[in-house]
C-alpha cells in the first residue's frame, strides 16, 4: 500500500497510534492549546477522522497559565482489557498523567498523576504478567527545579489505578550518544522486547533508533557489530528529502499484516529547505522485520490530490472538535447562541501579544491555502489572524471604521491601515508562493497576503514574508493556527472558509 504523506497535515505533532481490532486510533500533542490531545480514527491507516479530544473540560490539564512550549507533550495511546489509556506529560504544569476511558470518544477521566516522576514522552506497556511499565525521557519540566542535565531513557513500574510508582526509576538504553534521547516505545515481537527511541533532537538531526532485550525491563542492546541495525534506522538528516526532522515514531501492524511507523516530520520550504511553515506534522512509512530487527523505509512525500475545503456558517449547536483556543476552551471565549447563525467572541482588551486572547482557531494544514471570514465588529474590534505564538503573528482586523493589517515578529511590528467598508466585512488571508527574479525571493517558505472586501471591492493591505511564522524562526513547538479573535466588545463572525492544497 502507498500511504499519503503527510498522513495528518498541519500542527499535529508527536503522534502515537494503537490498533484495536480492525480500528486504529491516533493521538497527538497540543501544548498550550485546548481542547487537548485530539483523537483520530481510521480503518485503513489512510483516511483519518478526528472523533474527539481527551482533554475537553477545565481541570484535566493545568494549561490556563502554562508558559509557551508547555502543556500536553507527547501522549501515548494504548488499549488493554476494554480500557483506553493515554499517558502524557502536562509540561510546566500538572506533571505526568494517565487518562483512561472505556470509550475512545470519551468522556475521559480527570487524569491520575504519576506521583513523584518528572519526565517527558511517557510510554505505557504491560509485561506478560500484567505489570505496567512507564518508560520515559528524563527531562524534568514539572518539578519546578532549574533545568538540569538530560537523564536519558528511564523506566518505572506503576499502579495504574493510583498512579503510584512500584519501583524506582532505572536507566535503560539511551541510544547511540546523540542528543535528547526521547520518545521511547516498548513492543514485544517474537522472542524479544524492542525499545524504540528518538534521538538527535527534534530538529534536522532527528531520527529513530532501536535496541532489543529479553524482557520489558531490559537490559537492551542495539546489537552493534553483532548483526544489529545501523542506528538510527530512520532519519532524513543530511539528505535532500522533502520531509525532514523525521522521528518520534510509534510502530503499528497494518491491515494487511505488515508494519508501519507513524512519526512526526516537517516539510521545509524555500530553495534551501530552511523554513517549515506548518510546524511538525504526522507522517507514515513502511517497516518490516529482518533477522529479528526492525527496518524502516525512508519517509517520502506523497501529498493527497486535489483541494481540501472546510466551510461553516456557524449554524451548528457546537463547534467541531478541530477548533482550538489558547490556554482556554473555545466555549469559554465564544458563543453560537448569542447571535444565532454567527459565532460571537467578546474581547477583554487582550491582544494577540497576550497569553489568553479571545481567539478560536483552525490549523493551517497546507502550504498553499486561503482563509476568509465575514466579520461584523459592531462597536468592538476583532479580526482574522495567523498565529505561531504571542511573539509571532500576522492579522487583519476591523473596528471603529478602520481596517488594520499587522505583522508582529519578535517585538518588531509594522501596520497598514485602510478605511473599512460599511457593515459586515470579509477578511482574507492567503498563503501563496513567493514570486521574484532574485535568489532571495526563492529562499522563503511563502508569502502571506492580508486583504479585506470581496470581488471588485477587495483591497490588499499587505504582503508579508512567511518565513517569520515558521518552526525554525519562531522556535515554538506548535504550528500555524488561523484565528478568529476579538480584542474588545462583542464581535460576530460568519461564513468561515478554509481551502488548501499541497
**29-55 exposure pattern, b = at least 16 Cβ within 10 A, e = fewer:** bbbbbbbbbbbbbbeebeebebebbbb
| Joined grid coordinates for residue 118 | 518528572
DSSP-derived 3-state class of residue 180: coil
**Beta-strand pair 207-213/234-235:** antiparallel
For residue 348, indicate whether it is catalytic: no
What are the start-end ranges of the E strands in 149-233? 153-159, 164-165, 170-171, 182-189, 192-199, 207-213
Greatest CA separation found in the chain? 75
> How far, in Å, CA of 215 to CA of 194, rounded?
9
227 burial (CB, 10 Å; 0-12 / 13-18 / 19+) is: exposed
C-alpha cell at 256: 494487511
Dihedral of CA atoms 458, 460, 464, 469 in degrees, nearest 10, equals -30
Distance of alpha carbon 312 from its chain centroid, rounded? 23
Q: Which is catalytic among the residues 90, 121, 182, 446?
A: 182
First to last CA, the chain: 21
**334: alpha, beta or left? (left if phi > 0; alpha if psi -120 to 50):** beta
Q: Name the one residue in this structure whose C-alpha cell is 499535529.
A: 12
Q: Is 14 a catalytic residue?
A: yes
Task: Report d(CA 105, CA 40) in Å as an integer.
Answer: 9
Do the Cβ atoms of 278 and 299 come closer than 8 Å?
no
Set 14, 32, 121, 250: catalytic member:
14
* Positions marked catalytic: 14, 182
Amino acid at each position: 500500500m502507498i500511504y499519503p504523506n503527510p498522513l495528518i497535515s498541519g500542527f499535529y505533532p508527536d503522534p502515537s497510534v494503537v490498533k484495536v481490532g480492525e480500528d486504529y486510533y491516533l493521538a497527538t500533542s497540543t501544548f498550550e492549546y485546548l481542547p487537548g490531545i485530539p483523537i483520530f480514527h481510521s480503518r485503513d491507516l489512510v483516511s483519518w477522522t478526528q472523533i474527539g479530544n481527551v482533554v475537553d473540560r477545565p481541570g484535566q490539564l493545568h494549561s490556563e497559565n502554562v508558559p509557551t512550549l508547555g502543556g500536553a507533550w507527547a501522549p501515548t495511546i494504548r488499549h488493554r482489557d476494554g480500557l483506553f489509556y493515554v499517558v502524557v506529560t502536562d509540561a510546566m504544569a500538572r506533571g505526568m498523567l494517565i487518562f483512561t476511558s472505556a470509550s475512545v470518544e470519551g468522556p475521559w477521566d480527570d487524569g491520575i498523576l504519576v506521583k513523584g516522576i518528572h519526565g517527558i514522552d511517557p510510554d505505557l506497556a504491560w509485561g506478560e504478567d500484567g505489570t505496567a511499565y512507564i518508560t520515559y525521557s528524563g527531562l524534568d519540566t514539572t518539578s519546578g527545579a532549574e533545568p538540569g542535565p538530560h537523564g536519558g531513557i528511564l523506566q518505572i513500574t506503576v499502579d495504574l489505578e493510583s498512579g503510584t510508582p512500584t519501583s524506582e526509576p532505572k536507566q535503560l538504553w539511551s541510544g547511540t550518544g546523540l542528543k535528547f534521547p526521547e520518545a521511547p516505545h516498548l513492543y514485544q515481537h517474537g522472542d524479544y522486547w524492542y525499545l524504540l527511541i528518538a534521538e538527535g533532537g527534534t530538529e534536522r538531526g532527528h531520527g529513530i533508533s532501536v535496541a532489543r532485550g529479553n524482557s520489558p525491563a531490559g537490559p537492551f542492546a542495539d546489537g552493534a557489530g553483532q548483526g544489529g541495525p545501523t542506528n538510527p534506522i530512520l532519519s532524513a538528516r543530511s539528505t535532500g528529502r522533502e520531509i525532514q526532522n523525521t522521528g518520534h515514531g510509534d510502530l503499528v501492524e497494518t491491515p494487511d499484516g505488515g508494519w508501519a511507523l507513524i512519526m512526526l516530520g516537517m516539510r521545509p520550504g524555500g530553495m534551501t529547505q530552511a523554513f517549515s511553515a506548518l510546524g511538525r506534522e504526522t507522517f507514515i512509512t513502511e517497516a518490516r522485520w529482518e533477522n529479528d530487527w526492525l527496518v524502516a523505509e525512508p519517509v517520502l512525500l506523497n501529498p493527497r490530490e486535489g483541494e481540501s475545503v472546510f466551510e461553516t456558517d456557524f449554524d451548528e449547536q457546537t463547534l467541531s472538535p478541530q477548533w482550538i483556543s489558547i490556554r482556554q476552551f473555545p466555549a469559554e471565549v465564544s458563543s453560537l447562541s448569542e447571535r444565532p447563525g454567527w459565532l460571537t467572541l467578546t474581547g477583554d482588551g487582550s491582544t494577540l501579544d497576550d497569553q489568553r486572547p479571545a481567539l478560536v482557531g483552525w490549523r493551517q494544514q497546507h502550504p498553499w491555502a486561503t482563509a476568509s471570514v465575514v466579520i461584523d465588529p459592531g462597536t468592538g474590534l476583532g479580526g482574522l489572524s495567523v498565529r505561531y505564538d504571542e511573539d509571532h503573528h500576522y492579522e487583519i482586523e476591523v473596528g471603529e471604521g478602520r481596517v488594520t493589517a499587522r505583522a508582529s515578529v519578535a517585538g518588531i511590528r509594522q501596520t497598514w491601515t485602510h478605511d473599512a467598508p460599511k457593515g459586515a466585512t470579509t477578511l482574507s488571508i492567503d498563503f501563496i508562493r513567493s514570486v521574484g527574479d532574485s535568489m532571495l525571493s526563492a529562499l522563503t517558505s511563502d508569502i502571506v497576503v492580508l486583504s479585506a472586501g470581496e470581488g471588485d471591492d477587495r483591497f490588499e493591505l499587505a504582503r508579508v514574508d512567511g518565513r517569520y511564522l515558521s518552526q525554525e524562526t519562531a522556535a515554538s513547538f506548535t504550528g500555524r493556527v488561523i484565528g478568529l479573535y476579538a480584542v474588545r466588545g462583542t464581535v460576530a463572525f460568519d461564513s468561515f472558509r478554509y481551502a488548501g492544497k499541497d
